[in-house]
């Protein structure tokens, strides 16, 4: 079995399938009860249905609306009902459902210019059945009896009446005007049509026309209402999405701006504290260096004073011991000067080394404190950003839920209003159509009664003329007895019953043969 036969979902053997693409619009409901309208293309079709791909999952046995799209959009086809017969699910997410539907009324809605022979036979047979069903006559007209059986039919002895609701004329025996050897003509039966039979005959067509009008009106109003509802829903969704995007962008920008300002304020405060602490330490170290320098200056001044005093002492006693101790004193002074210079140099070097070490230690501590402050600031910034993002996500979820619920409520209220309007419009249209049909039926009945009255009046006039002519012929025959006896003998020899002169009934109505009423035949 081919893929088309396996996926079609219709009784394909009833008519030949054709592989042809026909664009169309499908309107229906999914298994979850959600209404949809999609544009698709039939890939395999016949006289009873088609197969097409769809993105939605239907229920087998559900009904959908099917509208064929014309090539140039001219003369849009009406919406037809079709029943889902089979569903083939997709084998992968990239594929689509294969839906097979069967038309409610089989016909060549696909616009196939040269349909197969079985399509032609089926459509011809369907047309004959429809014509036979819609054109049922109120009383069938029997075929004329053959000439060989005409002699076997015995005419009634007296007038024959039928209770049909209209004036019925009796059937008198035919007048004898034939010569000897001539066969009597067959008497055709009467055809009686009543107003009830006429109304019953046209009732099917009137009901079918009314159903078509109601169906087309409902389809047009429903499709317009569904399109308007979908357009409104799309507009509301777009506006809601735009509002949410604008609100989200503004709120996110405001939150990021506030977080940035707060982080900058905190970093400025920490940097100000670190700068103040660094300035304080620098001032403290500067004070220490200045105190050491002052202490060194005092030591140098004291040493210089001691040297001056010693020099004065030596000058005072130089005169006494100058010859003996000048050389020793000079050596001692030189040695003391060298020791002082070396001691001062060592002290200065130690103080400078200590100052440099203190400076490096202070610099390392300041760098460590700055790094710790930076890490703390980064951690606080990340935590603040995470909290801000969490709050933003929560508020975004709340706003989205509110917007979705509001849009859902608006959509449901709009659909309820549209449903009420459609029902009211359909009810008003149905009432107007029923009223129009009743008026048309009454008018047709009145016209038929008027026509029948005129027709019966003309028949009555023709019957009166025929009766007068027959009476005149009878009188002429009575004036010529020889001819009357010859005719009576010819009638007796041919087996025809003896004719009596027609007499007027008690109610004054004239009767005549159906042969004198060419309009009734």
Question: Which pLDDT score, from 0 to 100, does residue 387 have?
Answer: 85
The predicted model scores a pTM of 0.28
- In 480-513, alpha helices (H): 481-493
Q: What domains can you pick out in the chain, each with its CATH number?
A: 3-134 (2.40.10.220), 213-436 (no CATH)
Question: Which pLDDT score, from 0 to 100, does residue 39 have?
Answer: 93
Distance, CA of 443 to CA of 422 (rounded, Å): 31
CA 405 from centroid of its chain's CA atoms: 20
Beta carbons within 10 angstroms of residue 62's beta carbon: 15
CA 306 from centroid of its chain's CA atoms: 114
| Residue 83 near residue 102, CB atoms below 8 Å | yes
Question: Which pLDDT score, from 0 to 100, does residue 40 have?
Answer: 94
CA 213 from centroid of its chain's CA atoms: 24
Question: Which pLDDT score, from 0 to 100, does residue 98 have?
Answer: 93
Question: Which pLDDT score, from 0 to 100, does residue 44 have?
Answer: 92
Quote the tokens at residue 437.
Answer: 């049909």
| Residue 12 near residue 101, CB atoms below 8 Å | no
Which string of b and e fits 481-494 if b means at least 16 CB within 10 Å?
eeeeeebeebbeeb
Q: Which residue has the tokens 């819609």?
A: 134
Assign 324 to helix, strand or coil. helix
**Cross-strand bridge partners of residue 27:** 37, 65
Question: Which pLDDT score, from 0 to 100, does residue 54 have?
Answer: 94
Question: Which pLDDT score, from 0 to 100, does residue 161 have?
Answer: 35
Q: Which distant-in-sequence residues (6+ apart) come within 8 Å of 225 by Cβ?
A: 418, 421, 422
Question: Which pLDDT score, from 0 to 100, does residue 422 have?
Answer: 86
Quote the tokens at residue 53.
Answer: 């791909």
Assign 262 to helix, strand or coil. helix
Quote the tokens at residue 11.
Answer: 């009784």
User: Could you tell me the maximum CA-CA distance found in the chain, to the nearest angstrom?
Assistant: 229
Series of mean pLDDT values for 10-residue runs along the chain (521 residues): 42 73 92 90 92 91 91 72 92 90 90 86 75 50 38 38 38 42 49 63 74 78 79 82 82 83 87 88 86 86 84 73 69 83 84 85 85 84 84 86 86 87 89 90 88 88 86 76 68 53 44 42 33
Distance, CA of 519 to CA of 179 (rounded, Å): 27
Question: Which pLDDT score, from 0 to 100, does residue 441 have?
Answer: 87
CA 21 from centroid of its chain's CA atoms: 22
Q: Which residue has the tokens 């009638």?
A: 491
| Residue 85 near residue 9, CB atoms below 8 Å | yes
Distance, CA of 305 to CA of 391 (rounded, Å): 78
Question: Which pLDDT score, from 0 to 100, does residue 116 have?
Answer: 87
Which own/partner pairs from 336-341 qualify as long-range (CB within 8 Å, at least 24 positions apart)? 340/303
Question: Which pLDDT score, from 0 to 100, does residue 132 have?
Answer: 60
Distance, CA of 30 to CA of 426 (rounded, Å): 25
| Residue 54 near residue 95, CB atoms below 8 Å | no
Closest CA to 76 of 286, 184, 216: 216
End-to-end CA distance of the chain: 60
């Amino acid at each position: 079995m081919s893929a088309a036969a396996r996926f079609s979902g219709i009784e394909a053997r009833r008519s030949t399938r054709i592989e042809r693409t026909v664009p169309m619009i499908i309107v229906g409901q999914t298994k979850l009860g959600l209404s949809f309208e999609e544009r698709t293309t039939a890939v395999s079709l016949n006289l009873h249905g088609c197969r097409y791909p769809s993105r939605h999952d239907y229920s087998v046995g559900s009904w959908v609306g099917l509208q064929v799209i014309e090539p140039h959009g001219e003369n849009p086809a009406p919406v037809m009902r079709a029943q889902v017969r089979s569903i083939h699910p997709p084998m992968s997410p990239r594929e689509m459902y294969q839906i097979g539907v069967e038309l409610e009324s089989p016909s060549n809605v696909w616009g196939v210019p040269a349909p197969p022979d079985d399509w032609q036979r089926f459509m011809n047979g369907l047309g004959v059945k429809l014509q036979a069903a819609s054109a049922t006559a109120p009383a069938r007209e029997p075929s004329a009896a053959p000439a060989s059986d005409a002699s076997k039919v015995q005419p009634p002895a007296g007038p024959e009446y039928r209770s049909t609701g209209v004036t019925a004329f009796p059937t008198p025996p035919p007048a004898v005007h034939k010569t000897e050897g001539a066969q009597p003509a067959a008497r055709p039966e009467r055809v009686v049509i009543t107003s009830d039979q006429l109304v019953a005959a046209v009732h099917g067509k009137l009901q079918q026309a009314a159903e078509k009008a109601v169906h087309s009106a409902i389809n047009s109003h429903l499709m317009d209402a569904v399109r308007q509802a979908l357009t409104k829903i799309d507009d509301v969704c777009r506006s809601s999405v735009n509002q949410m995007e604008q609100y989200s962008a503004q709120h996110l920008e405001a939150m990021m701006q506030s977080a940035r300002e707060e982080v900058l304020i905190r970093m400025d405060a920490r940097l100000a504290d670190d700068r103040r602490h660094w300035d304080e330490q620098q001032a403290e170290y500067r004070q220490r260096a200045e105190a050491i320098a002052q202490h060194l200056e005092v030591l140098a001044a004291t040493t210089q004073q001691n040297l001056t005093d010693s020099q004065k002492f030596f000058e005072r006693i130089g005169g006494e011991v100058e010859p003996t101790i000048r050389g020793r004193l000079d050596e001692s002074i030189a040695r003391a000067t060298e020791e002082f210079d070396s001691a001062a140099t060592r002290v200065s070097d130690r103080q400078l080394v200590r100052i440099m070490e203190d400076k490096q230690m202070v610099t390392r501590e300041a760098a460590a404190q700055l790094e710790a402050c930076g890490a703390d600031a980064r951690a606080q910034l990340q935590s603040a950003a995470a909290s801000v993002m969490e709050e933003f996500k929560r508020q975004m979820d709340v706003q989205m839920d509110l917007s979705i619920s509001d849009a859902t409520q608006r959509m449901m209220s709009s659909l309820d209003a549209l449903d009420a309007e459609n029902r009211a419009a359909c009810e008003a249209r149905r009432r107007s159509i029923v009223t129009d049909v009743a008026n048309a039926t009454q008018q047709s009945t009145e016209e038929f009664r008027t026509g029948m009255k005129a027709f019966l009046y003309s028949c009555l006039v023709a019957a009166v003329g025929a009766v007068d002519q027959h009476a005149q012929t009878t009188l002429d025959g009575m004036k010529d007895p020889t001819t009357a006896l010859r005719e009576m003998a010819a009638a007796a020899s041919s087996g025809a019953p003896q004719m009596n002169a027609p007499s007027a009934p008690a109610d004054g109505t004239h009767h005549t043969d159906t042969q004198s009423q060419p309009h009734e035949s």
